[in-house]
Amino acid sequence: MLFNNTYREEIIEAVFEKTNFCFVVVNEQGLITYLNKNYCDFIEVQLKDVLGKHVADVIENTRMHIVAQTGKEEIADLQYIKGNHMIANRIPLFAHGKLVGAVGTVLYKDTEEWKKMNSHIKDLLMEIENYQKKLSNPRGASYSLQDVVGSSVQINEIKEKIKKVSSGDASILLEGGSGTGKELFAHSIHNLSERSAKPFIKVNCAAIPMELLESELFGYEGGAFTGAKKEGKLGKFQLADGGTLFLDEIGDMPINAQVKILRALQEGEIEVIGTERTQKIDVRIISATNQSIEKLIKENRFREDLYYRINVISIKIPSLKERVEDIRVTAKFLLDKITQGTGKRVISFSDSVMQFFMHYDWPGNVRELENVIESAVHLTNTEIIELKDLPDHMQQSLYITEEGMGLKEIMANAEKQAITGAISQSNGDKISAAGLLGISKSSFYEKAKKYDL
């Protein structure tokens, strides 16, 4: 059945007025004959004021009048509107074989919508690039979210949060213990941001002597002080201009340097040592700490006003102990990475080693786990890492804990903890939990019954 005129009008209204797209229609002379409300709102005009005007006088960088003259469609063309690149489609209109105008659409008129989509696309492209790098270089690590191993609730929540906040310019504070992967997350944020094509500069605030930190951050003019290079030196802020500056271990930064960093963030400018002139800079700050900044503030070792500047968005990275369910997959990932680099064939861990890993506290987090596995790979004479292959400093923990438990009790506790974590992650689905632990359904039910789970 054909639609009558009433239905046709409702359909046209639904298509042009009740979607999220921007529509514009011009005649063969390039004069606007229709502009839907979304487009009017986006470019901040009234329909009555623009009808009959030439499209180039209303929409910046448009090519609608060209398509209306040439009859050649333009699909997925980038158009710069209101400070952002949008995706434009332009289709010629024909009536009885005659070119009578053109209709155009703009996608992602919302800047935030575009940024989210842009971050998502970059994440996918980086995943592809990561696979390509691993094929060409087995030891390559690309510092992206693809290298964050684990599927625990905590890690998945952090990944999603990073995808949401990466596109903006807000300062981010990464909080977590030593070895939790703060630098890896900082790289991931930069690579997903609009600044990904610009520099990523790292400063380890704990590794630079206090007397050199200011010159490292802000640079100096030639002859600014004794021992200075005659040609001067660019500081980290200048090197990171347009990109991201990663301040690692920021809690160890001296107070006098904190004052200048605060000014740089507030004013968007720095003062190079040896000169009184200021220099404009544009950097995004990502900071990381394994200390409690709140405690440092109480001890007058950290400026409270700087803390609020760097802590616009806070991301807390859990310790390895807090996400026990990730230990198994992380250990396997690290084993594959290490053996590919060494060329030594070691394919797995014994059950006793894995149970010990699940129970151990891991004060050094993922970094410690990697070091332990690397040591064991070099020490083992078989394809399976056994308890005896673990480093000497761990041997005592293998047999007795502070509570006086023997190895049997340690393994039982570790097994119970792993099963509990898997059930929690699977929302009570025991078949899925068995899959996470890599054991059969019958074996899982037997162990669950053993521990009354």
SS (H, E, C) the chain: CCCCHHHHHHHHHHHHHCCCCEEEEEECCCEEEEECHHHHHHHCCCHHHHCCCEHHHCCCCCCHHHHHHHCCCEEEEEEEECCEEEEEEEEEEEECCEEEEEEEEEECCCHHHHHHHHHHHHHHHHHHHHHHHHHHCCCCCCCCHHHCCCCCHHHHHHHHHHHHHCCCCCCEEEECCCCCCHHHHHHHHHHHCCCCCCCEEEEECCCCCHHHHHHHHHCECCCCCCCCCCCCECCHHHHCCCCEEEEECHHHCCHHHHHHHHHHHHHCEEECECCCCEEECCCEEEEEECCCHHHHHHCCCCCHHHHHHHCCEEEECCCHHHHHHHHHHHHHHHHHHHHHHHCCCCCEECHHHHHHHHHCCCCCHHHHHHHHHHHHHHHCCCCEECHHHCCHHHHHHHHCCCCCCCHHHHHHHHHHHHHHHHHHHCCCCHHHHHHHHCCCHHHHHHHHHHCCC
Using an 8 Å Cβ cutoff, are 52 and 32 in contact? yes
- How many separate domains does the chain show? 4
**Residue 427 burial by CB count (10 A; 0-12/13-18/19+): exposed, middle or buried?**
exposed
Confidence at residue 126, expressed as pLDDT on a 0 to 100 scale: 58
For 17-21, the CB contacts below 8 A with 24+ separation are: 20/109, 21/105, 21/106, 21/107, 21/109
Residue span of the structural domain in which 419 resides: 407-451
Same domain assignment for residues 393 and 421: no
Using an 8 Å Cβ cutoff, are 145 and 123 in contact? yes
Confidence at residue 17, expressed as pLDDT on a 0 to 100 scale: 63
Same domain assignment for residues 309 and 335: no
Confidence at residue 142, expressed as pLDDT on a 0 to 100 scale: 45
Same domain assignment for residues 209 and 341: no
For 136-192, how does the pLDDT look when each residue is reduced to its tens digit (9 = 90+)? 433 333 467 777 888 888 898 999 899 889 888 899 999 999 899 899 999 999 988
Residue in the block written with tokens 């005129």: 5
Please report whether residue 350 resides in a domain: yes
Domain end (from 262, 294, 316): 316
CATH number where 416 lies: 1.10.10
Other Cβ atoms within 10 Å of 420 Cβ, number: 16
Confidence at residue 123, expressed as pLDDT on a 0 to 100 scale: 61
Same domain assignment for residues 232 and 165: yes
Same domain assignment for residues 361 and 380: yes
Residue 372: C-alpha distances to residues 39, 62, 143, 336, 413 (Å): 59, 60, 21, 14, 21
Same domain assignment for residues 339 and 370: yes
CATH number where 226 lies: 3.40.50.300
Q: Which two tokens stand for residue 310?
A: 């760097």
Q: For residue 105, which of 135, 136, 74, 151 has the smallest C-alpha distance? A: 74
Confidence at residue 92, expressed as pLDDT on a 0 to 100 scale: 94
CATH number where 99 lies: 3.30.450.20
Give per-residue burial for 145-158: e unless 16+ CB within 10 Å, then b: bbbbbbebebbeeb
Confidence at residue 400, expressed as pLDDT on a 0 to 100 scale: 45
Same domain assignment for residues 161 and 13: no
Same domain assignment for residues 257 and 384: no
Domain end (from 94, 112, 130): 112
Please report whether residue 101 resides in a domain: yes
Q: For residue 394, which of 380, 376, 378, 411 has the smallest C-alpha distance? A: 376
Question: Within 13 A of 381's CA, how many CA atoms are on the CB side?
Answer: 1
Predicted TM-score (pTM) of the model is: 0.59
Please report whether residue 132 resides in a domain: no
Please report whether residue 284 resides in a domain: yes
Confidence at residue 28, expressed as pLDDT on a 0 to 100 scale: 93
Same domain assignment for residues 302 and 325: no
Confidence at residue 248, expressed as pLDDT on a 0 to 100 scale: 92
Confidence at residue 72, expressed as pLDDT on a 0 to 100 scale: 93
Please report whether residue 286 resides in a domain: yes
Confidence at residue 26, expressed as pLDDT on a 0 to 100 scale: 95
Please report whether residue 169 resides in a domain: yes
Using an 8 Å Cβ cutoff, are 419 and 413 in contact? no
Domain end (from 316, 340, 355): 316
Please report whether residue 117 resides in a domain: no
Using an 8 Å Cβ cutoff, are 93 and 99 in contact? yes
Confidence at residue 373, expressed as pLDDT on a 0 to 100 scale: 94
Confidence at residue 134, expressed as pLDDT on a 0 to 100 scale: 45
How many angstroms separate the CA atoms of 196 and 163, rounded? 14
For 103-114, how does the pLDDT look when each residue is reduced to its tens digit (9 = 90+)? 998 876 555 555
Q: Which two tokens stand for residue 389?
A: 């292959």
How many angstroms separate the CA atoms of 453 and 216, rounded? 56
Same domain assignment for residues 91 and 237: no
Same domain assignment for residues 174 and 244: yes
Confidence at residue 149, expressed as pLDDT on a 0 to 100 scale: 83
How many angstroms separate the CA atoms of 221 and 279, rounded? 13
Using an 8 Å Cβ cutoff, are 264 and 245 in contact? no
Residues of the chain with pLDDT under 70: 1-20, 83-84, 108-143, 223-228, 395-411, 413-414, 417
Please report whether residue 156 resides in a domain: yes
Same domain assignment for residues 163 and 292: yes
